Structure 1
Amino acid sequence: MVTTMVIYGRHPLREALRAGIRAKVVYVADGVRLDSDLQWLLTEEGVTVRTVSRAQLEQIARSPDHQGVAADIGEFPLAPLREVLQRAMESSGVVLGLDHLQDPRNAGSLIRSAEAFGACGVILPPVRSVGITPAVVKASAGACFHLPIAIGNLRQFAKRFEEAGGFVAVLDMDGDDIRKAPKLRPLFLVVGAEGEGVSASLKAMAHAIWRIPMTGRVGALNAAVAGAIALWEVLYRQG
């Protein structure tokens, strides 16, 4: 788990600044011109901007996918588990759980979908999980700065969620058709890693197990696509 990080990419930096994250320093590759709105945000916040070579920037970002900019944001603002739980109970909302996802692109994409569709927050486990890394931030296009993200044991959170009056649902290929699912609120929706799926202990305590119906020949959707469809289903179609 990375708590002090250098993020990279224009969208992550823009969204961090919009969310009130104050960058310690921003590194811009020599010859790169920042978008006017991004430059305005940096000027308004009085952020130190340093021009470096592209080779130096790649070393700073530890990735070639930096789009000419990187920023040291210090410690990532993780949320307490109780805050996510409280938000869900007060709004009868949906919390997304990511059960041991290893691919930062899938994790980031799911966080982006959760923020876009109006989830109350995202919970990731402390072990056997990609966590919140610069690559996840990049894949989320900065969405991770706009909703609470907490780290904790998913099974324990699910138990507390149920005790507080909520429901737990998991995605699984052998579950019931999500299109026919009853509306459950507040809801803790858990998406599992590709291949492994959701852990047996979480399935055992779930109030519902849902699948995404498919008619094509492909065996399964990846976690990011399946999770995005499920989020749209429970947050938009069910209303």
Structure 2
Amino acid sequence: MKTIHSTQNSFVKQLKKLHKKKYRDQMSQFLIEGPHLFAEALSAGQVMPYLLVEEDKLQTFQPPKDSEVIICSEDVIRTLSQTESPQGIIAVCHILKPPMTDILQSNCSLALLDDIQDPGNLGTLIRTAEVLGMTAVVLGKHCADMYNSKAVRATQGALFHLPVIRDDLNGLVNKLAQANVPIFATAMDGLPLEKVQIERKYAVVFGNEGRGIDEHLLSAANERISIPMAGKTESLNVTVAAGIVMYGLQAKKNG
């Protein structure tokens, strides 16, 4: 079993490049940290070509057969970690790119994210969509990178169980219209959620934390929907609003 003790090791330097989106895109790989994300990746059949662990953590898990296990010093793990308290295990994962055709099924329920900028919000939205049984999440071109370490941690492993695709949302809504998939968009002046009628398939758009949804996407929607506010606060955080809307729509779809 290979061991690495120096943070100046060339392989360590190469992996550290994955902290930046530029190199994640070039190498089609990203890093995950900790036993929970490792277990989620393993349960989903995610290919992990390299597994870097501190020696005292080796007995706490069963590495997959197709992974090269490398014993690393605490300093190496700390160098590759992007958390304040590293958990002693880091895995290299492949970036998967599921085809759009796989998600445009007869009873699809899609969450379209328009320009979500905060990686934590993005990860939480993906986690919420997976929990609520959405078919897929589609990220607009200007969304934050889902393989940013903060986004990956916020998904709590949901990114391994749900197709997440980056696409041009303006082009996608045209395809959805041609496929007779109803499109909903969240807006303050929309129809109250409880009055919305849906069929077995739909897409729903959630917008940027500050500006909301792009006007072109709003105009392409079949229906604008809103969450009735009983209090005096004018708006909700996008992750909270999206959770309420997806829960409501999924309940109608499956009811």
TM-score range, shorter chain: 0.7 to 0.9
Residue 159 of structure 1 aligns with which residue? 174
**Residue 119 (1) aligns with residue 139 (2):** no
Residue 97 of structure 2 aligns with which residue? 78
Residue 13 of structure 1 aligns with which residue? 38
The structure having more radius of gyration, on CA atoms, is 2
**Residue 131 (1) aligns with residue 151 (2):** no
Give unmatched runs, 5+ long, in structure 1.
none
Matched position secondary structure for 1:170: strand
**Residue 52 (1) aligns with residue 72 (2):** yes
Alignment of 1:159-198 (within 5 A): 159-198=174-213
How many residue pairs match? The answer is 228
Residue 221 of structure 1 aligns with which residue? 236
| Contact in 2 for aligned 1:123/1:151 (Cα 8 Å) | yes
Residues 65/135 of structure 1: CA separation in 2 closer, same or farther (3 Å cut) = farther
| Contact in 2 for aligned 1:7/1:70 (Cα 8 Å) | yes
Give unmatched runs, 5+ long, in structure 2.
1-20
Select the residue among 18, 25, 28 that pairs with 2:53. 28
Kindly provide the amino acid, as one letter, of the partner of residue 102 in structure 1. Answer: Q
**Percentage of pairs with the same residue:** 27
TM-score by length of 2: 0.82
Select the residue among 109, 131, 147 that pairs with 2:162. 147
TM-score by length of 1: 0.87
Matched position secondary structure for 2:103: helix
- CA separation in 2, counterparts of 1:142 and 1:206? 31
Q: RMSD between aligned alpha carbons?
A: 2.0
Question: How far apart are residue 157 of structure 1 and its match?
Answer: 0.8
Kindly provide the amino acid, as one letter, of the partner of residue 82 in structure 2. Answer: R
